[in-house]
Structure 1
Amino acid sequence: MKKLALSMLLAMSLTTSVFAAPTVLPLWPEGVPGAKNIGPEKFDRGSVSNVSEPSLTLVGPAVDRPNGTAVIVAPGGGYVRESFDREGLQYATWLSTLGVTTFVLKYRMQEFGHPAPLQDVLRAVRLLRARAGEFGIDPNRIGVMGSSAGGHLAATAGTLFDHPLGRTGAELDKVSARPDFLVLMYPVIAMEAPAAHMGSRKALIGTSPSPELVQLMSLEKQVTPKTPPTLLIHTQADQAVPVENSILFYQALTRNKVPAEMYLFEQGAHGMGMRDGLANASQWPRRAEEWLRARGLLTAPTPPAK
């Protein structure tokens, strides 16, 4: 019965978020910083590439009483493409059943390289915080969730939110870009062997990055006590992005006394998304829901006293 109820909720949410015209918010209406003419975006089997106009696609909560929590979802794809449907809209549909307002991030990738993705994710946090009232969200309950390279991008938001390279001189730079929590799915974290995913590294920082840039983008080395509470999910079976990436980040969080939880499952290849048939790994959405609920992120705010 629980599975049937969840399926019905997912179908309801899918109906409202996919068949209705989605709300798409441009990240840089005043003009994309460092704009390039790289031709049109490319769409292939649910993935998008060649992004030059970053945006947020809004998927609203599918329950009567939204809880005010917002999540920016960064799909993965090695900074070469973004798995927009499977690691974007699918996650958003699930989060909508929990009362969360979700924004799927379409960000710049290899055609621009660092720091364009960092600028895009920090701009997304600032935009939602500045317009929280318009979207019915709590400006102190804005999280970033990412998978694979999208997990690396989410982790950059949680570690480099104050970095000068994340600012462009826009008025919104005055708004805090620090997320309030992170959810990292089989994330790329390290930029050095043996744990590094070299494809993501090459796409983001090139074939011959400086040692300083490698250190900066090795996010296990950028964790501080200001890094937000984090949930990590990874598997032993991941042959693309080694599980050590999550372990290194978790260890850094622990050293810095940042609240963190980590689930390491046996089964589930890289990019598992919300796939069934992976034993305990298929239950990660339930574990994530428990973590969000325990942090008070799924409880509707108390209305002010009259």
Structure 2
Amino acid sequence: MKKVYILFLLLIAMNSYAQEQEPLEIALYPEGTPNALGNKTKDIPMLYYYPSAYEGVLKTAVVICPGGGYTHLAIEKEGFKMAQWFNSFGVSAIVLKYRLGGDGYKNPVPLQDVQQALRVVRSKAEEWHIATEKVGVMGFSAGGHLASTVATHWDLGDPLAKDQLQRLSCRPDFVILGYPVVTMEDDFTHKGSKKALLGDEPDADLVKKLSNETQINEKTPPAFIFHTYEDGAVPVQNSLQFYSAMVAAGVPGELHIYQKGGHGLGFGPESSSYFTWRETCSRWLENINMVDGAIE
């Protein structure tokens, strides 16, 4: 009887844990989506909020941009699972379903969506127990391009804006890039992402503006970057060039290149050295005073 009771308690605990992992779904633009081409799911950007447990201390938060070549979103592998991992060491996570070039939303719409997401998170700081100076962004593949774009194309808000949200900063306090598309220059870009975001014949100035390795300056936030040497879809030079530009501008950060593994690995197989990026990343967040007591 005692064993049955203990099993019953364990099942309750497991069910409670599962329920806690259900995100809060929030429309990115509750007053109506600007530049919308329709009212279908693809036209309505969303936030999926995964809160970490509040223990009396304001939390770090991260906006997560899944990849998918600006044509679809790998939102489960590069979004929801990442959010749950961040929760495991006390970071609140917000997965962004942004609008896509493949659905007709060319630049600058995806950038506007991630800028809005960062402002929304800061506007919810009191309600969500978030430290406004500890709000970062993470992105994978094309989502890494979006994350690196907001890291290099941000503003501190317009103090005269009628919309209170637009008075808030959209600068991320830290950046995490997983096998990111960074450049739009033909030598090393992911051509599908470039076409989806910029169209068939983009202006040369726009290509340079969104080649984010060329946009880094001393005010760019610190970044943690990881990639594989064997990535056949997004060349490792994307990460190398971004990190090299960071060093040249005096921006701190870390770059980790793993020999084995292709593209779009997410967490990756446990048997690979690539799998260790999670622990390394959480330690980095601890080292830059974004989290306390990071774990694997």
Amino acid at match of 1:221: T
Secondary structure at 1:112 match in 2: coil
Q: Aligned partners of 1:186 and 1:84: how far apart in 2?
A: 16
Give per-residue Cα distances to partners, 1:230-266, cap 9 Å, x unaligned.
0000000110000000000001111110111100001
Report if the CA contact (8 A) 2:134-2:290 is conserved.
yes
Q: Which of the residues 235, 238, 244 maps onto 1:242? A: 235
CA deviation after TM superposition for structure 1 residue 13, in Å: 9.2
Aligned residue number for residue 95 of structure 1: 86
Amino acid at match of 1:141: K
Secondary structure at 1:258 match in 2: coil
Q: For the structure 1 residues 258 and 15, does the alpha-carbon distance in structure 2 shift closer, same or farther, using more than 3 Å as the test? A: same
Give structure 2 stretches of 5+ with no counterpart. 1-13
Q: Aligned partners of 1:136 and 1:63: how far apart in 2?
A: 7
Q: Aligned partners of 1:268 and 1:226: how far apart in 2?
A: 33
Aligned residue number for residue 16 of structure 1: 19
Q: Which of the residues 60, 78, 86 maps onto 2:69? A: 78
Query: In the alignment, is residue 40 of structure 1 matched against residue 40 of structure 2?
Result: yes
Secondary structure at 1:81 match in 2: coil
Q: Aligned partners of 1:290 and 1:223: how far apart in 2?
A: 24
Give per-residue Cα distances to partners, 1:93-145, cap 9 Å, x unaligned.
11000100000000001121100100000001111112211111000000000
Larger-Rg structure: 2
Report if the CA contact (8 A) 2:185-2:207 is conserved.
yes
Amino acid at match of 1:40: K
Q: Aligned partners of 1:169 and 1:243: how far apart in 2?
A: 43
Identity %: 39
Runs of 4+, deviation exceeding 2 Å: 11-14, 62-67, 168-171
Query: In the alignment, is residue 159 of structure 1 matched against residue 152 of structure 2?
Result: yes
Report if the CA contact (8 A) 2:156-2:168 is conserved.
no
Q: Aligned partners of 1:12 and 1:243: how far apart in 2?
A: 41
What is the aligned-residue RMSD (CA, Å)? 2.1
TM-score normalized by the length of structure 1? 0.85
Give structure 1 stretches of 5+ with no counterpart. 1-10, 42-50, 301-306
Give the aligned length.
Answer: 275
Aligned residue number for residue 256 of structure 1: 249
CA deviation after TM superposition for structure 1 residue 32, in Å: 1.1
CA deviation after TM superposition for structure 1 residue 275, in Å: 2.2
Q: For the structure 1 residues 283 and 80, does the alpha-carbon distance in structure 2 shift closer, same or farther, using more than 3 Å as the test? A: same
